[in-house]
Each structure stands twice: as structure tokens, then as C-alpha cells.
Amino acid sequence: MDLFDNLWLGMSVVLTPTNMLLLMAGAMIGMIVGIVPGFGPSAGLAILLPMTFGMDPVGAVVMLAAIYYAAMYGGTITSILLNTPGESATVASTFDGYPLAQQGRAGPALVMQAVASFVGGTIGVILITLLAPLFSQVARSFGPPEYFLFAMMGLLLLVAMVGEHRTLGVISALIGFALGTVGVDLETGQQRFTFGSAELIGGIDFIPIAIGLFGLGEVFYSFYTGIHVSKSGSIVQYQKERRFWPEARDFVESRVAMIRGSLLGFVIGVLPGAGATIASLMSYSVEKSASKHPEKFGKGAMAGLVGPEAANNAASAGAMVPLLTLGIPGSASTAVLLAAFLLWGLRPGPLLMTQNPEFAWGLIASMYLGNVALLALNIFAIPLFVLMVRLPYRLLAPAVILVCTIGTYSVHASMIETWFMLAAGVVGFFMKLLGFSPAATLLALVLGPLAEEALRQSLTISRGSFAIFIERPTSLWIIVITVAILLLAPILRRFQAAG
């Protein structure tokens, strides 16, 4: 009963006209910010944080939480419509989302994405409410060996799914790892591969590479394949159906994927670090392994879109667990939220829920309501977004190049990053043309530094012994699960086919 009393307290705090207005405003702003290439939840939060100065703390955090969630929704829209992921967690949405748009099913894809995000976010919030203290204990048991294995698991699963050209997938991942080593070595402070350039000391950021590889690379590739002079002249290459709403089979195909993705996403999202990225990749891998038709993945399988979508939204909720219970931000976005909490004199941690219950439960209640608001907003806005894929490509492409370039520049006001974006665009074009995997490169760029730091810390702890990865029960479990997904799934599929 305590739980319901607390939730009721939270609801009563949020359900005021002012706070509801702030929630809706935050949702709309967050979605628009998320749609702009280069602006993900963390950049959006950092830029919009000053808007909340002078507001009541509860109202301000309701608005910021709405921006945080909504930016994730918005980032997926560009993944589906333009093959340009807004964040590393939305890369997996491009695998089947963009092919669906090309097949004239952008509307159903966006609706299913909104529903999956709603389901993932809602399940995530329910799990926070019920299990936050338990999950924070699990998170505390994770150390460097587990983080290393998790990062490697995410990459291995991706490379395994690349398809026939596994070697090209491995090469792509290694390129990403190599790019991730540029900058300053965290342990020794030594510069690596900077060649005396001050601009490279900070390393190579994810955003220009993502926008270049996926956004520009896709534009160049589309021109190369003649989309601009094709019969339709737009991204939609053939119109299977003109329906805006998904069909019954889409819901049937997706219902288990949504639940599975949500649970997986929340559990992984609790772990500080690249939780949402690994969660969405793992979900994609699990769905492909469990599917009776894995050959459809990568070509517009609805389960391949909704699983990762549910996972990354549930992971966004999961990332709140270490923040609220331990005061440790689980991601760049929650780090900005932590800064906001401290500004208002609030200290997230074990005592937050007892000392400021209206704040903590108000935040949780706003997540429930935020999910509902975003679902409604998305569904009303989707017809507008779908128009984008029907625009003549000769008009759309220059606009996409423009927004990608300006978006990349404006994140850090850096010309060097803009040049990186252009170079990545050229490389992305050739990668796509020749069968390499831009996704593996990008994800290795994100996970590589995490994996390296964790590996070095692990070997320092174990004094150089790799046995640490087997001696710790949690590490062993991660290895077993990875092997199970990689090896057992094809065997199970053969049994299914024979049966």
C-alpha cells in the first residue's frame, strides 16, 4: 500500500495545470530536438537546461525528464526515415526501420515504433517503481570485468548478425576500435594518434561519425543508385500499401518482441555506461535468433524494429535507477539531470526518496504521464513525418545534407568535426557499396574506449591474469549467455525447421 500511496503522492504533484503544461512542452521540444541530426537527449538537455532556471524544482525536473524521453523518440524518427541515427542506442532501429520506409511502410513503422517505445518506457517505469533498490544492488556488483564482457558481447552479436560478409564486419569493427583510440590515454595521459593536433586531443566524437557514415553516406549511396531519377523519385521505392496504421499482423509479430525488449532493456539499462546501446543490439540479436524467419531481418522485419525500440526506451528508464538510488548517473543524459538536481539543492541517492518524496515520486509519476503524452504526440505527428519520405529526393537530399552539416557543427562549434563528418560520409558510401558494416564501425567507436578501460582495469586487478573473467560468477554468466545466443540459436532454428 505504501507503493500506491507514494505513486498517488507523485501523481498529485504532477497533475497540476502548470506541471502538465511543462510536461507537454518538454515532450514537444524534446521530440523536435531529437529529430535534428546531431542533437540527442544529452545535447538537448544541456542546451535546454537554462530554460528551467527560475522554475519550481518539481516543474523543472518534470520538463527535463520529458525532454530526455522525447529526444529518444525523436532520434528514432530519423533512424527510420533517413537512416541517420540520433544516438548510438538508435543505430539498431536503422537495420529494419529504414527498409520499411523504403517499402512505403514508413507510417506503420513509425506507429509501431511509438507503441514499442511507449510499452518499453512504461514497463521500465513500472520496474523502477517496484524494483529500484534490488536493481541498484545488482548494478553495484558489476565491475570492470563485467563491463568489458558486456561491451564485447554487444559487438560480437552485431558482427555475428552482419550476414555473409563476417570478415568485412570484423574489419569494420576494428576500424571503429582504431578510431576510438585517438586522443588521450586515460590512464597515462599520453596522447595517441593525435600527430600534434590540438583538435584531436579530445578524441573523435560519435556524432560526426554517425551523421557522416549513416546520413551523408546514405545520401551519396542513394544518388549512386539513382533514387532521384527512379519511378517514384523518392525514398519510397515501391508502394506495398498506402496504409498509415499498422496491420493486425504487425501487432501479432511484435507483441512478444516488445515485452522481451522492454525487460532486457531495463535490466541492461540499469548498468552505468553504454546500457541503451548494448540493450538495443542485444534485443535485435535475440529477436533475430528467436524468429521463425530470421532471413527477413535487415529487410523490413517489424520485430527487428520494435524489439530494439522497446529496449532502448526501457533502458532510458533503467538508467534512472543508479541516478535515483545511488546518485550515480548512468549515461550522459542522466549526468545532465544530476547537474540539474544539484542546482536545485537536491541530492540523489538512498535518502532522496525519504527526504524529498514529492520530488522523487513526482519524477516517477511524470515518466508514466510523459509516455502517454509522447504516444499521443507521436501518432498525431506521424503523418507529417511520413510526408518526408514522399518528397522528391532531389529536393530532400540537399536539405538533409544541410541539416546534417549544420547540426554537426553546432554541437561543439567545431569545424574539424564537420570535416570528420564529411570524411565519414565518403567512407560510409564506400562501406555501403562494398558490403562493409558502418553500424559495426560506429558501435565499436562507442564501445571500444569502454572496453579498453574495463579490460585494463580488470587485468590490473587480477595482476595480468585473464582468469578473472571466469572466476567471477557474473562474468561467467555473461560469457555463457553470449555463447548461448551465438551458438545455440542456429541449432534451435534447425530443430524448428526440421519439426
Partner 1 sequence: MRKVFTLLILCLAAFYTWAAFADLSFLSSTGRLGPGFFPRIIGVGLILASLFELTLESSRGREHVLASEHARTTLIVAGLTGLFVLSLDFLGGYLAMIAFLLASLTFLNRSRPVQNVLIAIVLPTVIFVMFEHWLNAALPRGMILPEWLV
Residue 70 exposed, middle or buried by CB count within 10 Å (0-12, 13-18, 19+): buried
* Binding residue for partner 1, selected from 262, 366, 405, 437, defined by CB under 8 A: 405
Q: Based on CB atoms, which residue is closest to partner 1, 32 or 346?
A: 32
Residue 274 to residues 162, 271, 341, 477: CA-CA distances in angstroms?
A: 21, 8, 22, 19
Least separation in angstroms between residue 255's CB and partner 1 is 38
For 287, the grid coordinates are 529477436
Please, which residue, 192 or 240, has the CB nearer to partner 1? 192
End-to-end CA distance of the chain: 49
From the CB of 82, what's the least distance to partner 1, in Å?
15
Residue 390 sits in the site that holds partner 1 (CB under 8 A) = no
Nearest Cα residue to 156 out of 169, 165, 143: 169
Window 122-161: contact mask with partner 1 (x via CB under 8 A): ----------------------------------------
- Could you say whether residue 342 binds partner 1 (CB under 8 A)? no
**Pairwise CA distance, residues 452 & 424, whole Å:** 23
Nearest to 274 by CA among 128, 147, 172: 147
What is the Cα–Cα distance from 86 to 43, expressed in whole angstroms?
11
When binding is defined by CB under 8 A, the residue of 315, 397, 439, 447 that contacts partner 1 is 397
CB atoms < 10 A from the CB of 465, how many? Answer: 12
Pull the grid cell for residue 265.
532493456
95 and 298 Cβ atoms separated by less than 8 Å? yes
C-alpha cell at 196: 600534434
Is 192 among the residues that bind partner 1 (CB under 8 A)? yes
Q: Which stretch binds partner 1 (CB under 8 A): 86-94, 162-170, 251-259, 482-490?
A: 162-170
Q: Which of 403, 442, 446, 454 binds partner 1 (CB under 8 A)?
A: 403
Secondary structure letter of residue 163 according to DSSP: -
Interacting stretch for partner 1, rule CB under 8 A, among 72-80, 127-135, 166-174, 249-257? 166-174
Identify whether the C-beta of residue 389 lies closer than 8 Å to the C-beta of residue 81: yes
The pair phi, psi for residue 39, each rounded to 5°, is -100, 110
Residues 415-454 that bind partner 1 (CB under 8 A): 415, 418-419, 422, 425-426, 429-430, 433-436, 448, 452
Residues in 228-267 that interact with partner 1 by CB under 8 A:
228-229
What does the binding site for partner 1 look like in residue numbers (CB under 8 A)?
33, 36, 39, 47, 50, 167-168, 170-171, 174-175, 177-178, 181, 185, 187-188, 190, 192-193, 216, 219-220, 223-226, 228-229, 392, 394-395, 397-399, 401-403, 405-406, 409-411, 413, 415, 418-419, 422, 425-426, 429-430, 433-436, 448, 452, 455-456, 459-460
